[in-house]
Structure formats: C-alpha cells, structure tokens
Amino acid sequence: MRRVVITGAGTLNPLGADVRSTFSAMQQGQCAIGPLTCRDVERLHIKIGAEIRGFAPEQHFARNALSLLDRFTQIALVSARQAMAQSGLVIDEALALRAGVILGTAGGGNTTVDDNYRAVYADGKDRVHPFVVPRLMHNAAASHVSMEFGLKGPGYTVSTACASANHAMGQAFHMVRGGGADVMLTGGSEAMLCFGGIKAWEGLRVMSRDTCRPFSRDRSGMVQGEGGAVFVFEDYEHARARGAEILAEVVGFGMSSDAGDIVMPDRDGPVRAMRAALADAALAPNRVDYVNAHGTGTAANDRTEAEALRIVMGAHADAVPVSSTKSMHGHMIGGTSAVELLGCLMALREGVIPPTANFNEPDPEIGLDVVPNSAREASVDVAMSNAFAFGGLNAVLVLRRAP
C-alpha cells in the first residue's frame, strides 16, 4: 500500500482566517468563545458560541455565486483554496481523473434551512429561492470544491455527527493509500450558529452558559462553534516527484461503532477505534507523543474518553499530553475534527502542543496531563486525533512527522 502525506492545509475558523493565524492563537491559548450575534439571540437560553468574526463573503465570492453558497460551503471553499495554494498542485487533465474530494459535515446547509423555514412559517411567504435545495444539501461543499478545482475522481460527503471530518479524512486516506486516487482534498466544515441550530442543541441540555472547560472538575458543558479546515492528501511518491513540501504523513486510521445509545458514550467503542488506528499505523501506544482529545467539556464524554485512553495507553497514559482545542474554538460538530487536526500539525511541525484552555481544577476521575491553559514546547513525532460522535460513531487518525 502507498504512503499518504499532507501537502496543503487551509482553514477558516473562530481562531483565525488561515493556518498561520490559527497556529498563533493556539500557541497563545486564545479562547474565541464569546457572546452570540445571531438573529433572535434574545430568545435563546444559550447566548455564547465561537463565531467566525470579520469574515466578509463578498470579498471571496462573486455576488451571483453567493446565491448558491450556504455558509458551510463558503467555509469549505475558502479553506480548500488555501490548501491548494500551499500544495502547489496543478490539476491537469490526467491528474483531474485521479483527484477527488471527501468532506464531512453534520448539519450541511443548516443556515439555509433556518432562513427559509423562517420565511415560510414566520413571514408567511409562499415561495422560496430556487437554489434552496442546492444550498442546503450536505454534498454542496464537496460538489463546489470539485467544480472549482476540476476534481473528476472520487467525490462525496460523510455525515457522522461530531466525527464527520475524521471519517471523511480517514476515507480519503484509504482512497489514496489503496490506489483509488493520487490526490484527495478532505476535511470538513460546519455553520450551525443560527437560531434554529442553537435552539435544537439547547434541547439536549449539554450546553454551557459561560465557557468550555474540558477535563476541568468544574466544567459545565460544550459550546458550539463554526468553521472548518481542508487538507490535501497526496500519494508520497507523487508529492516527492513534483518537489512538494510535506507537512506530515498520515499513517493510521481506525473507526468503530458503540452500537449502544444514541447520545450516551461507551468506552468500548473509542477503545476499539484507537487500537485500530494504532494497529493500522503499526505503532505501539507508547509511541504516541500527543493526543488531541475529543474533549467536549461534558462530564460523560470527558470521563469516558479518559477511561478509554487509560485502557489503550496503559502506563503511558500518565505521560502522554492530552489536550482539547474545543476549549478555544468551540465544538464545530461535523467540521471540528478537521480544525483539531491543525492542532496535531502544529505539534508535529512547530514542536508546540496546544493547550486545554479555561482549565480551573483537576478532576480526579480524569487524572491525565491535559496541558492546562498554556501551550507546551515538546518534541512530537506521532500525534493522534480523536472524534467520538453521537450515535456511537468513532473515528481516530494518527499522523507522523514529515518524512
């Protein structure tokens, strides 16, 4: 099987409008969680979130194009443009047939749905824009990315709630490694910070009213964010032949299903996913130098993940740094594990592990090194990124420092 490397990365998220600014914010432990500015926020019980601020779509897209693009698609396209620019790829006729896109999202065009339900039910309009369906469909982002770059190989969308982007990237990894493509654009995006999206999540009663404090004893729940990231996954020999800069190597992917409860996590599923990813990478647990945790800031998720890590890592669990960047950028649902992979890239390339922000006091039921509040310089050769979703769908990626 072929080796798979990352040759480009791009992002638009609450911490930054590109990879460099996101790295800087993570290194400084900045928290992008603040007051929400969405319409009808006064009717919400939860009034905080991690919004992308200062993004002007009209600076990135022609006016006629914007009528086709939900916010989650805009985020994916901006991120993909950055990733392609960094990769230096030229998609000619031959490569177009060997290049594709797999993206993750949980809500798809949630903003479009919210706006048009409001128009019909609240405002009493009897018709909607003719492009509502192309805007709201979950495959919209993948389709627009394929069209913008002329990617004629495999293309589709993965929707597995909070693990969507990791599942998408894992499938892209398999596609390149197995020879189904030479290049895949992959990652995920989400834009659910609208009235309907937030109101739906309020009903679960897992949301914090102040901030996100993963693994801290006084945590009070998760905080929603918006954003995403896109990467260029490429066959190693193809990348080397064209002299591309290699950012990292993707070496393992594992997935599992809890087959238990639709919302409550079970430690067995995450254990099997992590073990599968490490076996796929042919690495022992003690080779992992950093874990980017799922770390949502809910008691059930944090404690279940800590238990699973202890089972997988054994004695190494006491030594390996484990942080949750959701404490800074919020939970971007289907797009979050793509942004979290940036935290792994930063650790591998910059030698800086992102912190778990807003941490106040250790939870004796966690007992891990959660890199509290301040980023940490460290030599990281292997990083693991966890995503454990509602419905018990788990996806884990393992990266290694660039060869």
Report the candidate in 257, 262, 238, 231 with the shortest Cα–Cα distance to residue 168: 231
Name the packing angle between helices 71-87 and 110-117 (round to 10°): 160
Residues in the chain: 403
The two tokens of residue 56 are: 């002007």
| Buried residues in 41-57 as b, exposed as e (16+ CB within 10 A) | beebebebbbbbeebee
Amino acid at 372: P
Q: β-strand 393-401 against 382-389: which pairing, if any?
A: antiparallel
Catalytic residue among 162, 194, 212, 344: 162
d(CA 10, CA 134): 24
- What residue has token string 């019980």? 45
- Cβ–Cβ < 8 Å for 261, 16: no
With residue 27 as reference, give the H or E element that holds it.
Answer: helix 19-28
Query: 362 burial class (0-12, 13-18, 19+ CB within 10 angstroms)?
Result: middle
Report the candidate in 214, 217, 394, 191 with the shortest Cα–Cα distance to residue 295: 214
Q: What are phi and psi of 394, to 5 degrees?
A: -115, 140
d(CA 276, CA 287): 15
Beta carbons within 10 angstroms of residue 134's beta carbon: 19
Catalytic residue among 138, 238, 294, 329: 294
Active site residue 331: yes
Catalytic residue among 31, 144, 331, 344: 331
- Cβ–Cβ < 8 Å for 327, 345: no
User: Hey, which bits of 344-381 come out as E strands?
Assistant: 352-353, 376-377
The two tokens of residue 286 are: 């003690």
Beta carbons within 10 angstroms of residue 156's beta carbon: 15
Q: What is the DSSP letter of 368?
A: S
- The residues that are catalytic are 162, 294, 331
